[in-house]
Structure formats: C-alpha cells, structure tokens
Amino acid sequence: MTIVLDPTAGSNADIATPGPDAGPLAGKRVAIRIDMLWRSWDWVSQIWAEELRAEGAEVEFWRSCGRTGEEGRVAAEEYAAVLARADMAIVGLGNCGSCTSWTIADALQAAATGIPTIAVATAHFEALAKNLARRGGRSGLRLHILPYPLDILPRSEVDDIARNQYRSFLRNFGVRSGLAQLSAA
Amino acid sequence: MQDFLVRGGRFPDELIAHLPPLKTECTVEKIAINAVMAGAPPESMPLLIAAIEAMADPKFDLAGLNATTGSVVPAVIVNGPVRNKLGIPYQAGCLGGVAGSAAGIGRALRLIMRNVAGQLIDSTSQSVYGTPGRVAGIVFGEWEERSPWAPLAERRGVKGDAVTVYGAMGTANICDVVADSAEGFLEIIAKSMAYPGANGFLTSSAFSETLCAINPVWAEVIARQFPDMRDVQAFLWDKCALPIDWWRPEYRKPIEALGRIKADGRVHLVPTSDDVLVMVAGGLGGLHAAMLHSWGTCLTVTRAISE
C-alpha cells in the first residue's frame, strides 16, 4: 500500500471582519507607525496627521527601526506601549517585501488589542499585504492602498497624493466625521 | 520516512517551530517528508531540525527575509565532525558543484520554506531577482582542520557539531594574484566587500553583518601575522569602508543622520568588527576568497546539532 504524505502545512483560524470602525476622531489618540525606509510615508503621514489634528484627534508617531536583537527587544516594548496608549492605529508602509511583512505584523498586533487598525501599503504590494494578513489569521484587516511607485516621486507630488487620498483613507478606516462623509468631488 | 523519523530522534508530531509567513507548525514529520522529497540523507535530520530552529529564532527575522524584495536565502554553515559524517563540502567547490549531500539538505530546507512556511514568489515573497541559492540552498562547512583559528561556531559559543544560519545575498568571488602578505590579502577582501550597493550601506538598514570565507592557503599566511581572529575581524572592519564622497551628494544627509560618517569621512559597511564573520573554506588552489553579503537586520544564529 502506498501512503501519500502531505509536505505542506496550513492555518485554519481567520478573522474575516475588519474590526471596529475608527468612529469619531475628536478626542481620540491616533498612533501612526512609520519606518526608517520610506520618506514618502513620512510625508504622507505628516499631512494626514495635520488633518487628523484638525479634526480634534491627538497623534503620536512611532518609528520602526531595527527589529532584531537588543534593538528589536526595545522596539517591541516601545510599540506595545504606544498601542496601549492609542485609541486607533495607522500602520505603514508596505512598500517592499520585508517592510510589508513588518507592516502587517505590526498591524495585526494592533488589531489584536481590539483598537481600530488600518495598514497602509502601495499598490504593487497590495497582494502581499492581503496574503500576509490572511495568513496571519485576519483576512479582514483594513488596508489603504497608495499608488506605486511612490517613494521616487518628488515631495510635491507625494503631498498631493496624500491630500487627495485623505478622504478615501478616512472612509476605509471607518471614520465618522464631516470630511469623511463628503462624497468624492 | 521511518528511517528519517528514527534518525531525527524526535516524535513525528513534535513542534520544531512556527515558520513565517504562514506561521504554520513545522513538525518533525513535515521536515522528514520534505527531506525525503529532496533526496537528503536520513542522517541529516538532526542538522535539518537544528537549522530550522535557528532560522525560527526571532533574531533571524525569517518573516522579513522570506517576504523581502531582496535576493536573500539563509546560508547554512556546518561545523564539527558531522561535516565529514554527512559529506558536507568545505574544500574545493564547497559553495556549489561538488558532489555530496549539501544539495539534498539545502533542497530540503528550501522545500520546507515553500511547503511549510509558505514562501512563494509573487505571493508571499517579493524578491525582485531571487537567487540560485533559493533552489538548493547554500550549505557548506568550514575546513576546520586547515583553519589556524577556532571554528566559526565555537567562536560563536557552540563547540562541536553546530549549524550557523546567515541571511546571504548569494555568494560572490574575490580574486587576487598580487598580494603576498596578511595585510595584502585582508585588504583586497575588505575593499571588495565594501561596494556602495551592498545592503549594509543602505540607509534603511538598522545594522548588518558580512561574511567572508578565506581559502586555507591565504589563511595560513594571514594567521602568521594575525593569530587572534579578533584582530583579523578588526582589520577587515577597518578597511571595509567607503569615503562618503563615493556616493552622490544626496546620500550624505540620510547617511549622516544615522551617525555613520566617521571622523575620517568614511562609512563602514557594518557597525563593529564583531559583525564581520570570517571562516576558512575552499580549495587549495588559493587565489580566491568568497564574500557573502548580509541581507540586513537578520542576525546570524548558531545552534548545536543534537543527535
């Protein structure tokens, strides 16, 4: 008798829902996770932070740098503390393989705390981001997709993208505010 | 299968690691199935298990490594008597092409990454080019018997049979026919490793390591002047640097922001001399060294191989 053994392994558990909506912004503390790779994400998140503050939210940035060794241990503690203080989390940027991996890992960690969470990636890495979220057990993770390529664009163009995308970003995040409710022009 | 499981010395359902990106359970049985498919010898099971344990160490950042746009693969370096028992190459042709078990062992690890961890190009891996090492791995040993220094794994705290995993951006050759001194050999190695596009110079990398394999002929000459490996590493680290002016002007600001421009205007490939990994391997033809650049923040991990 021949027995065929399966060389693969799979995961079963999945949360297909996006989690709680971000809701109203006024009085909320928003954690924005940035990184040391993408200047474009710094620029986009700065503009979004200004807009969030204008709607009454408080914004705290946290920059992801080394994630292994002693530096990684410290980073893990810092990030957990940032999430503990936050009412909602914006996590980016998935704009390469490894950084998308860390973006989704950090977004999954934020979502697991129960706070409204959205991961941000560029279009080329959307499929990877979705794959990793599904394989991480949360296929419903909210994603906002920015155009690709992004990081090689001049700042003025990236700033325009940030402003143009802000309303759709709010809607993806489940924000309820005057600006988010406006239909696209 | 039975032979593989017996040689593994563990229960088939024993969990060895959760491997990203799938984060699924890599059990002894899954390792054995893939090893059979790859044509690895049953006796390699303890090595395979140790290698998987090492890759799953959080320090190694396998999640990032398996997803990256980079062309990286975990290189597996074997120390101890197990090299000879398994026929792991460490002499001529050790990085590829010599007959032996390395290709089967390496292929088993690659199948585990695909079938268990779920690393698939254009799906969970964004590697722009990939690398030949992703087909049958990079598995080689250190020629300890011809090394004037202690074995790599021993210097990293593990004596005897051991496996060291290192996130390698492939292998590249360094050839020299002029140098005839320790400093001459080390300088050509160090300067060759310091090319501007190496990941260690990326302003997006928090830190990096680098690895070179020195052939036994050169090693003997080098050790006469540098009997202490720490001095070899320090010399290589010092010369493995580029003047900031080698980059276009727009690079200065981000490199400077990381505090990486030294007082003499040079930028070192890796932060400290401890981050320069050195081993002895290769044929007696001399003339060549091999450099294996690190992908980035995955830190090298060494594990004992337990029978």
Strands A142-146 vs A117-122: parallel, antiparallel or unpaired: parallel
Using the Cα atoms of residue B243, residue B249, residue B255 and residue B259 in order, give the sign of their dihedral: positive
A5 touches chain B (CB under 8 A): yes
* Residues whose CB falls within 8 Å of the CB of residue B279, separated by 6 or more in sequence, listed in order: B77, B142, B147, B151, B152, B211, B212, B213, B214
What residues of B are in contact with residue A151 (Cβ under 8 Å)?
Answer: none
B157: burial class by Cβ within 10 Å (0-12, 13-18, 19+)?
Answer: exposed
Does the pLDDT at position B92 exceed 60?
Answer: yes
Residue A5 within any structural domain of the chain:
no
Q: What is the pLDDT of residue B267?
A: 96
Q: What is the pLDDT of residue A185?
A: 38
Does the pLDDT at position B206 exceed 70?
Answer: no
Strand order in the sheet with B162-168: B138-141, B73-79, B162-168, B301-304
Mean pLDDT computed over B286-294 = 96
Q: How far apart are the first and last CA of chain B?
A: 17
Q: What is the pLDDT of residue B6?
A: 86
The CA-based diameter of chain A, rounded to the nearest angstrom, is 71
Could you tell me what percent of chain B has a pLDDT over 90?
Answer: 88
Residue A99 within any structural domain of the chain:
yes
Cis peptide before A116 (omega within 30 of 0): no
Which of A40, A42, A98, A126 best probes binding to B when mutated, by most B CB atoms within 10 angstroms?
A: A98
Q: Which domain holds residue A92?
A: 29-176
B194 touches chain A (CB under 8 A): no
pLDDT tens, position by position, A11-24: 778 999 999 999 99
pLDDT tens, position by position, B103-142: 999 999 999 999 999 998 988 899 999 999 999 999 999 9
Cβ–Cβ below 8 Å for A69 and B59: yes
A36 touches chain B (CB under 8 A): yes
Mean pLDDT computed over B161-166 = 98
B251 touches chain A (CB under 8 A): no
B15 touches chain A (CB under 8 A): no
CB–CB of B201/B296 below 8 Å? no
Alpha carbon A184 to chain centroid, angstroms: 22
**Per-residue confidence band for B7, with pLDDT thresholds at 50, 70 and 90:** confident
Buried b (16+ CB within 10 A) or exposed e, A89-101: bbbbbbbbbbbbb
**Per-residue confidence band for B227, with pLDDT thresholds at 50, 70 and 90:** very high
CA proximity to B127, closest of B167, B165, B73, B76 = B73
pLDDT tens, position by position, A116-144: 999 999 999 999 999 999 988 999 999 99
CB–CB of A90/A173 below 8 Å? yes
CA proximity to A122, closest of A31, A36, A52, A40 = A40
Does the pLDDT at position B97 exceed 80?
Answer: yes
Vertex A47 angle, CA A46 and A48, to 5°: 95
Helix then strand then coil, in percent of chain B rounded to 5, is 40, 20, 40
- Report the alpha-carbon distance of residue B167 to residue B37 in Å, rounded: 24
Residue A185 within any structural domain of the chain:
no
What residues of A are in contact with residue B58 (Cβ under 8 Å)?
Answer: 68, 72
pLDDT tens, position by position, A17-65: 999 999 999 999 999 999 988 999 999 999 999 999 999 999 999 999 8
In terms of DSSP H, where are the helices of chain B?
Answer: 2-8, 28-38, 45-55, 62-67, 82-86, 102-112, 133-136, 152-155, 182-193, 216-225, 229-239, 252-257
Average pLDDT score over chain A: 92
**Domain extents in chain B:** 2-304
A85: burial class by Cβ within 10 Å (0-12, 13-18, 19+)?
Answer: exposed
For A101, which of B21, B25, B299 is closest by C-beta distance? B21
Look-up of token digits 């993806």: A172
pLDDT tens, position by position, B255-285: 998 899 999 999 999 999 999 999 999 999 9
CA proximity to B304, closest of B110, B42, B80 = B80
- Report the alpha-carbon distance of residue B208 to residue B299 in Å, rounded: 8
Cβ–Cβ below 8 Å for B58 and A65: no
pLDDT tens, position by position, B33-85: 999 999 999 999 999 999 999 999 999 999 999 999 999 999 999 999 999 99
- SS3 for B170-207 is CCEEEECCCCCCHHHHHHHHHHHHCCCCCHHHCCCCCC
Vertex A159 angle, CA A148 and A46, to 5°: 105
Helix (H) or strand (E) holding B93: none
For B111, which of A7, A101, A135 is closest by C-beta distance? A7
DSSP letters, B262-278, are -TTSEEESSSSGGGEEE
CATH of the domain at A43: 3.40.50.2300
Q: What is the pLDDT of residue B10?
A: 86
Cβ–Cβ below 8 Å for B126 and A125: yes
Q: What is the pLDDT of residue A184?
A: 44
pLDDT tens, position by position, A80-112: 999 999 999 999 999 999 899 999 999 999 999
- Report the alpha-carbon distance of residue A176 to residue A167 in Å, rounded: 11
